[in-house]
Structure 1
Amino acid sequence: MTTTSIGNTPIRRCDFLSTLFNTNVFIKEEFHNLGMSAKDRPAYFMIQDAIKAGRIQPGGTFVEASSGNTGLGITIIAKQMGYQAKIFVSKSCSQEKIAILTNAGAEIEICDNSNGLHDFHSTQFRAQSFAATHANTYFTNQYYNTQNIRAHYKTTGPEIWEQTQGKITHFLCGVGTGGTISGVGRFLKEQQKNICIWGIEPEGSILRHFLLSGTVPNEIKPFDAIEGIGRNFIPGSFDPQQIDTIFQVGKAETIAMARAYRDETGILSGFSSAAVLASLKRYNKEMQLNPSHTVLLFFPDHGSRYVSKLYAETADKQRETVKTHP
């Protein structure tokens, strides 16, 4: 990638998790990117593609529907290139992310939900409508932009393959737009088709159902949101052919696992990162991991963006004590 502050993020072996689950657990730490998240990668690719194709003129405004991280990446990169950014976030977006977006120079609009283009009150519909009715604006549309997958196919996947020296056997990643798991999964399976590509989503999200059946459920219900992952529509950047299975976890167990991991390691994991940890605990027997495996967990951002949601114990005095052994 030509922007040296995006990509080439480190992986580290987590001794605590490796011992706990009797395997070799590594973590890809994407908070080392420019905007402290994995979303900087597709943000850069989508902006570059739009500029090269002449879809936006100098000084214009990039528009996105985002839970925060993609919006921040777009805001920072656009500003460096002389453009503006307008980001539509749902009311479930953490206050930390909204503050960071505002401080970075983004214009923010808060919407009722992120339920897709069919919902007039969603971030996606309102972002698309704004771009369609204002001159010199471009809706990057991460949910349907092919550059979302391409960014991870061209950068994240090759980095992981090189950093694990081709020894990776399992890749675990939260699934929201689907861009990360689709791009990384495609690259890794081209190198070794037996690598397990496992997604994580909240209970009630429909992506697992779609992966298994190729259809959406007849009845789509609201689900308990884990910020950044899970959907009640199928994004165009979700490629089920690259994914072996999707595990579902609950919000409460995700919060509990984030706190347990912090207590053991001193590290604040982000919301979707904690969901990946929760899946390891909940489905450990089903996963059948062993000491010969090399398991890569994808941590797309940092827990400092979710302090009010994950680590404010005083707001959740009734929380259960988590057993850290599977």
Structure 2
Amino acid sequence: MWLNNVLETIGNTPLIKLNKITKDIPATVLAKVDYFNPGNSIKDRMALKMVEVAEQEGKLKPGGTIIEGTSGNTGMGLALAACVKGYKCIFVTTDKQSKEKADILKAVGAEVIVCPTNVLPEDPRSYYSVAKRLGKEVPNSMYMNQYDNLANRQAHYESTGPEIWAQTEGKITHLVCTAGTGGTITGTAMYLKEKNPNIKVWAVDVYGSLLTNYFKTGNIDMSFVHPYISEGFGEDFVPQNYDMSVIDEFVQVTDKDGAVMARKIAKEEGLFCGYSAGSCIQGLMQLKASLTKDDVVVCIFHDHGSRYVGKIYNDQWMMERGFLEVKTFKDIVSGRAGKKLITVEPTNTVAEAVELMKKYDIEQIPVLHNHELVGSVSEGGLFQKIFSNPDIKYATVASVMEAAPAIVDFLTPVEKLGSLITKENGAVLAKDDSGNYHIVTKYDVIQSLAK
């Protein structure tokens, strides 16, 4: 039997057991994988609910415009609802969010306005302020305000909570969820605690957010607020969707740990998740000491990794922020204690090049002219030529040199170097910050990967 529209596919997402990444945790750990929703995130649930409630209350009228401040996922859910129901959308986001998120919103017909991240919520440039202003200025429009709109948490009370309870057959003992607008964790927790008040609810926050301190003290202390890279959770104010009485613990994780863990989930569990999923599991790891073999833990995996291919799943982006500890060209040559690269000029003789190979026990020598790479000579290439013509040892290097090795970035990962070194060209070169050449051979790569 067919469905009437895409909105009918929202919800009933799978609960999947984690096996490798949680092998050191005695409890059963299950992931509520909500990227199976049509908009690839859990936000589809509350986006549709907010629209339905707005319609019921007469606040959203036919042909109207939906306005929202969003990190991307809520916007996608609202855009799907707008497509089906005939509304227009204007979404306001921050320059911290991945480009992929903005592009996806535009693809489904939304207008996207990008605002600066590092401003206070009340600043007129903030995405909160801009969204509120547009809600007043645009005719026949409604500012959804997912932060203070209680339809947000109601959606999870009515769908996410009941699904988890049924899927675990009531055996759930812990709920772990990143904390952002408060809708997912509060709504889900409210339902589950009605079923079993002993269920523990753990909120995962990020350093730079004030939510953890507010949970512990009841005070809004802006000294805890500073810029962070993590997306989709953490806040610099307390949304009205929160009911802290249903949350038992807050734990903060670093930007780096969340990003690294997300990549680990993808590689070890085959679940291509977003930033918040990595942070959720990292938070669980930090609290795992209190778990037992009889516990059943459910972790919320909010969205899909496709939202972050230019960020946490991009090696260069990760390395630039010190998040990815991978071996690079620089790491290989750094252990050479400043040894100078052995080179020859095109005017040197083949015999001189061979003598250098013997002296320094090397197989390949770059050929430089006026400090620029013009070719190379290798042990294998010279052997064939000398064997067929012994007198070639008196010839110049220019007459026998081979193609120059590839020149790469000094921070190129070792794994990529392997694909650049071929049978015909057994090395690659790179310049350091001082403009000096360094060489890495096939043997160097093998040795590096074997360590």
The answer to whether structure 1 residue 320 and structure 2 residue 322 are counterparts is: no
- Shift in Å at residue 309 of structure 1? 1.3
Aligned with 1:135: secondary structure?
A: coil
The Cα of 1:116 is off from its aligned counterpart by 6.6
- Whichever residue aligns with residue 243 of structure 1, its letter is I
Q: Deviations over 1:222-254 (max 9, x none)?
A: 131310000111111121111011110000111
**Structure 2 counterpart of 1:300:** 302
Match of 2:85 in 1: 81
CA distance in 1: counterparts of 2:296 and 2:126, whole angstroms: 39
**Equivalent in the alignment of 2:341:** none
Please tell me whether residue 105 in structure 1 is matched to residue 83 in structure 2. no
- Counterpart of 1:151? 155
Larger radius of gyration: 2
**Paired position in structure 2 for 1:48:** 52
**Matched letter for residue 72 of structure 1:** M
CA change 1:174–1:126 in 2 (3 A) is: same
With over 3 angstroms needed to count, the CA separation of the structure-2 counterparts of 1:189 and 1:115, relative to structure 1, is farther
Residue 283 (structure 1) aligns with: 287
Residues 293, 114 of structure 1: CA spacing in aligned structure 2 closer, same or farther, 3 A cutoff? Answer: farther
Residues 26-82 of structure 1 show CA distances to partners (whole Å, capped at 9, x for unaligned) of 110111112111101111111011112111221110000000000110011112101
Classify the secondary structure of the residue corresponding to 1:19. Answer: coil
Instruction: Pick which of 217-226 and 86-95 moved more.
Output: 217-226
> Structure 2-normalised TM-score?
0.68
> What is the CA-CA distance between 1:145 and the residue it aligns to?
0.2
Taking structure 1 as reference, are residues 65 and 195 closer, same or farther at Cα in structure 2, changes over 3 Å only?
Answer: same
Q: Residue 225 in 1 paired to residue 234 in 2?
A: no
Q: Secondary structure at the match of 1:201?
A: strand
* 1:187 counterpart = 2:191: yes
With structure 1 as the length reference, what TM-score do the two structures score? 0.93
Q: Does the Cα contact within 8 Å between 1:116 and 1:123 map onto a contact in 2? A: no
Aligned runs of 1:92-171 on 2, under 5 Å? 92-113=96-117, 117-171=121-175
Q: SS in structure 2 opposite 1:233?
A: coil
- Does 2:272 match 1:268? yes
User: Counterpart of 1:56 in 2: which secondary structure?
Assistant: coil
- Shift of residue 158, structure 1, vs aligned partner: 0.6
Q: Any residues of structure 2 matched to 1:9-28 within 5 Å, and which? A: 9-28=13-32
Percent identity over the alignment? 36
Query: Number of matched residues?
Result: 318
Shift of 1:292: 0.5
Per-residue CA deviation, residues 172-201 of structure 1 (Å, 9 max, x unaligned), is: 001100000000011111111110101111
Q: 1:115 to 1:177 in 2, by over 3 A?
A: farther
Contact 1:75 1:104 in 2 (8 A): yes
Structure 1 unpaired stretches of 5+: 322-326
C-alpha contact 1:202 1:223 (8 A) present in aligned 2: no
Higher RCO (C-alpha under 8 Å, 6+ residues apart): 1
Per-residue deviation, 1:203: 1.0
